Chain A
Amino acid sequence: MSVPATYPADPVPSPEATGSAIRTSRLLKRYGAIEAVRGLDLDIVRGEIFGLIGPDGAGKTSTFQILAGVMEATSGTVEVFGKPAREARSQTGYLTQTFSLYPDLSVAENIRYIGDLRRVAPAEIAERGLRYLKMFDMDRFADRLAGRLSGGMKQKLALVCALVPEPKVLLLDEPTTGVDPVSRREFWDALAHLAADGLTIMVATPYLDEAERCHRVALMHLGEIHQTGTPAELRAGLHAKRLELRTTELAKAEQLLTQDAGDGREILDVQRFGDRLDLLTVDPENTTKYVEEKLKSPQLQISEIQTREPTLENTFVATLRSLGQEIRPEPFPGRYDHTDLRGQIAIGATQLTKRFGAFEAVKHVNIQIRYGEVYGLLGANGAGKTTTIKMLCGLLAPTTGEIQLAGETGSLRSQSVRQHIGYMSQKFSLYDDLSIEENLNFFAGVYGVPESERERKRNWALSFSGLEGKEKQLTGSLPGGWKQRVALGAAIMHEPSILFLDEPTSGVDPLARRAFWNIINRLADLGTAILVTTHYLEEAEQCNRLGFMVAGELVTEGTPSEIKNRQEGHLIEFVVDQPQGAADLLKQTLERWRVSLFGDRLHVVTDESAQAGIQSTTTQLAKHGIQVLGAREERFSLEDVFIGVVEKARQQGKVASED
Chain B
Amino acid sequence: MKRLFNHRFLALIQKEFAQIRRDRRIAMSLILPPVLQLMLFGFVLNSKVQNLRLGVIDESRTPESRELIARLSESESFRLTSYYLSPDALTDAITHGKAQAGLIVPYDYARNLQRGRQANVQFLLNAMDANTATIARTYAQSVIASYSANLQSSGLHAEFSQIAVPDVGRRGRVDLQPSFLYNPGLVASWFSVTGVLGLLCILNGSLVASATMVKEREAGTLEQLLMSPADTSEIVLAKIVPLFLLLCMMALFAIGIMRVVFHVPFHGSFMLVFAGAALCLLSGIGIGTFIATFTQSAEQAQLTSFFVNPPMSSLSGALTPMEAMPHWMQPLAKFNPIYHFGVICRASMLKGSGIETLWPNFLALLVFTVILVSLSVWRFRKQLG
A residues with a Cβ closer than 8 A to B are 393, 395, 413, 415-416, 418-419, 421, 423-435, 438, 441-448, 474, 500
Q: In the assembled complex, which residues on chain B have CB atoms less than 8 Å from the CB atom of A445?
A: 7-8, 10-12, 14-15
Q: How far is the CA of A20 from the CA of B187 in the complex (A)?
A: 82
Q: How far is the CA of A444 from the CA of B221 in the complex (A)?
A: 16
12 A–B pairs (Cβ distance < 8 Å), ordered by A: A393-B227, A413-B385, A415-B231, A416-B229, A418-B229, A424-B224, A425-B223, A426-B220, A428-B224, A430-B221, A446-B8, A446-B11
Q: In the assembled complex, which residues on chain A have CB atoms less than 8 Å from the CB atom of B227?
A: 393, 395, 418, 421, 423, 425, 500
Q: A395-B226, A433-B22, A434-B22 are in contact. Are A441 and B221 (CB under 8 A)?
A: no
- B12, B18, B230: residue with the most chain A Cβ atoms closer than 10 Å: B18
| Interface pair A441/B14, CB less than 8 Å apart | yes
B82 within 8 A of A: no
B23 within 8 A of A: yes
Q: In the assembled complex, which residues on chain A have CB atoms less than 8 Å from the CB atom of B8?
A: 445-446, 448
Q: A428-B221, A442-B11, A448-B7 are in contact. Are A433 and B23 (CB under 8 A)?
A: yes
Secondary structure at the B interface, as helix, strand, loop or mixed, is: helix
| Interface pair A434/B19, CB less than 8 Å apart | yes
- A253 smallest CB distance to B (angstroms): 34
| Interface pair A427/B14, CB less than 8 Å apart | no
Q: How far is the CA of A198 from the CA of B75 in the complex (A)?
A: 86
Q: A395-B227, A425-B220, A425-B223 are in contact. Are A446 and B12 (CB under 8 A)?
A: yes
B219 within 8 A of A: yes
B228 within 8 A of A: yes
Q: In the assembled complex, which residues on chain A have CB atoms less than 8 Å from the CB atom of B226?
A: 395
- A444 smallest CB distance to B (angstroms): 8
Smallest Cβ-Cβ distance to B12: which chain A residue? A446
> C-beta contact mask, B1-34 vs A, less than 8 Å → 1, else 0?
0000001101110110011001100000000000
Smallest Cβ-Cβ distance to A432: which chain B residue? B219
- B113 smallest CB distance to A (angstroms): 75
B-side interface residues, number (CB < 8 Å): 24
Q: In the assembled complex, which residues on chain B have CB atoms less than 8 Å from the CB atom of A444?
A: 11
| Interface pair B229/A434, CB less than 8 Å apart | no
| Interface pair B14/A442, CB less than 8 Å apart | yes
Q: How far is the CA of A171 from the CA of B230 in the complex (A)?
A: 46
Q: In the assembled complex, which residues on chain A have CB atoms less than 8 Å from the CB atom of B11?
A: 441-442, 444-446
Smallest Cβ-Cβ distance to A491: which chain B residue? B224
Smallest Cβ-Cβ distance to B232: which chain A residue? A413
Q: How far is the CA of A474 from the CA of B15 in the complex (A)?
A: 14
| Interface pair B15/A447, CB less than 8 Å apart | no
- A427 smallest CB distance to B (angstroms): 7
Which residues of B, 8-65, contact A by the 8 Å Cβ criterion?
8, 10-12, 14-15, 18-19, 22-23
Smallest Cβ-Cβ distance to B234: which chain A residue? A446
Smallest Cβ-Cβ distance to B225: which chain A residue? A446
Q: In the assembled complex, which residues on chain A have CB atoms less than 8 Å from the CB atom of B15?
A: 431, 434, 438, 442, 445
Q: A429-B224, A442-B14 are in contact. Are A448 and B229 (CB under 8 A)?
A: yes
Q: In the assembled complex, which residues on chain B have CB atoms less than 8 Å from the CB atom of A424?
A: 224
Q: In the assembled complex, which residues on chain A have CB atoms less than 8 Å from the CB atom of B229?
A: 415-416, 418-419, 446-448
Smallest Cβ-Cβ distance to A438: which chain B residue? B18
Q: In the assembled complex, which residues on chain B have CB atoms less than 8 Å from the CB atom of A418?
A: 227-229
Q: How far is the CA of A415 from the CA of B224 in the complex (A)?
A: 14
Q: How far is the CA of A444 from the CA of B10 in the complex (A)?
A: 11
Smallest Cβ-Cβ distance to A442: which chain B residue? B15
Q: In the assembled complex, which residues on chain B have CB atoms less than 8 Å from the CB atom of A416?
A: 229
Q: Given contacts A442-B14, A446-B11, could you give 20 more A-B pairs where the C-beta distance is less than 8 Å?
A: A395-B227, A413-B385, A415-B231, A416-B229, A419-B229, A423-B224, A425-B223, A425-B227, A428-B220, A429-B224, A430-B221, A434-B19, A438-B15, A441-B11, A442-B11, A445-B10, A445-B11, A446-B7, A447-B228, A474-B22
